[in-house]
Chain A
Amino acid sequence: MQSRSFARAVFSVAVAILCSALHNPAQSSPNAPSPSSALSIPESQLIQPDALIHLLQGAESAKPLVLQAGSRIFFAESHIPGSVFAGPGSQLAGLQLLQSKVASTAKNQLIVLYCGCCPWNRCPNVGPAYKQLRDLGFTNVKVLYLANNFGDDWVKKGYPVEHGL
């Protein structure tokens, strides 16, 4: 009787593990991007430079809050006009700064995150920053897709920039 209960329990646990693996393939696959990788950000949440420019030139009410989640030095060199330095997403201090920057922001406000420190698949900052904002309950977060880096994909293409902190 006892061994039958034990077998039933083992079977239930095995089924639960199998179901969980089937329902969440991203976690079970060895090739799934780590949550800290930019590749973990859903494609539907990416925004291209042209589309961001369009938003920035549009009506005031539709303008996004643009946050740079990368290096302070890079921000001081060049950044998107009106954007706010929010700290590198790969560091705890950066995530804390990010949290403070959005403390009084409405949860449905359109927020655009960007970094551009490294090629997209190597960027250590935007993945954790995106996750942090989602975890904080922000529902309208986009991430600027910069394939190579901010210099190549924004500055060299002639998009507007500001300098300094």
Chain B
Amino acid sequence: MDYNSNQNSKAASRFNLGTGLLLVFLLVPAALHAAPAPDALLHKPAPAFVRQDLAGKPVDLKAYRGKVVLLNFWATWCGPCQLEMPRFTSWQKQYGSRGLQILGVSMDDEPGVVRKNVSKLQVNYPVVMGDERLGNQYGGILGLPVTFLIDRNGQIIARFAGEADLNAMEDQIKRLLDRK
């Protein structure tokens, strides 16, 4: 009985040690890659980035401090994204002078198709190419479209995922534009 109990206890501690090591092995790399939970980004400063747009011009998010920024993650193969972008283009025209800046981040793998798409849709705001690093900074972009509304102080005010209510989004933009 004692022998068995002793053996069981040894086996249990070996198991616990093994399990612990396995968890460390699995969780440490995961934690290093882990993106912040999307909701954890709300009311926090928008993660900084500097990228080149499709024409090779640098786009630094910090440079838009003082403007209301609509940061839209999209792709050429994303149906709902294609429906949103003409609306974003019209907002850029309509509200640009009041301080709205729309920025597009394409999650396509190649810029060639993006250039064609942007030209076809007559997009009038900067578009940069995204990658997994930028996606992770913004809480993991694992479905499109995803759009962040950033206030004049660089704080993320809202996150819209999937087929968003564009009228509600526009109302929220207008409210932010009214705040000086």
How many A residues, CB 8 Å from partner? 26
8 Å CB interface, B33-83 against A: 33, 35, 38, 75, 77-80
**Is B162 on the interface with A (CB-CB < 8 A)?**
yes
Q: How far is the CA of A148 from the CA of B142 in the complex (A)?
A: 10
Q: Among B35, B135, B143, point to the contact of A117 (Cβ < 8 A).
A: B143
Which interface class (under 10, 10 to 19, 20 to 34, 35 or more) fits B? 20 to 34
Known: A71-B75, A149-B162. A77 touches B143 (CB 8 A): no
**Closest CB-CB distance, A35 to chain B, in whole Å?**
16
Q: How far is the CA of A125 from the CA of B144 in the complex (A)?
A: 13
**Is B170 on the interface with A (CB-CB < 8 A)?**
no
Task: Check A119–B33 contact: CB distance below 8 A.
Answer: no
Task: Check A124–B30 contact: CB distance below 8 A.
Answer: no
Task: Check A74–B142 contact: CB distance below 8 A.
Answer: yes
**Closest CB-CB distance, B173 to chain A, in whole Å?**
24
Task: Check B130–A118 contact: CB distance below 8 A.
Answer: no
Task: Check A122–B142 contact: CB distance below 8 A.
Answer: no
Q: How far is the CA of A119 from the CA of B80 in the complex (A)?
A: 9
**Is A88 on the interface with B (CB-CB < 8 A)?**
yes
Known: A73-B132, A76-B132. A151 touches B143 (CB 8 A): yes
Residues of B bordering A, CB below 8 Å: 29-30, 33, 35, 38, 75, 77-80, 107-109, 130-132, 135-136, 140-144, 161-163
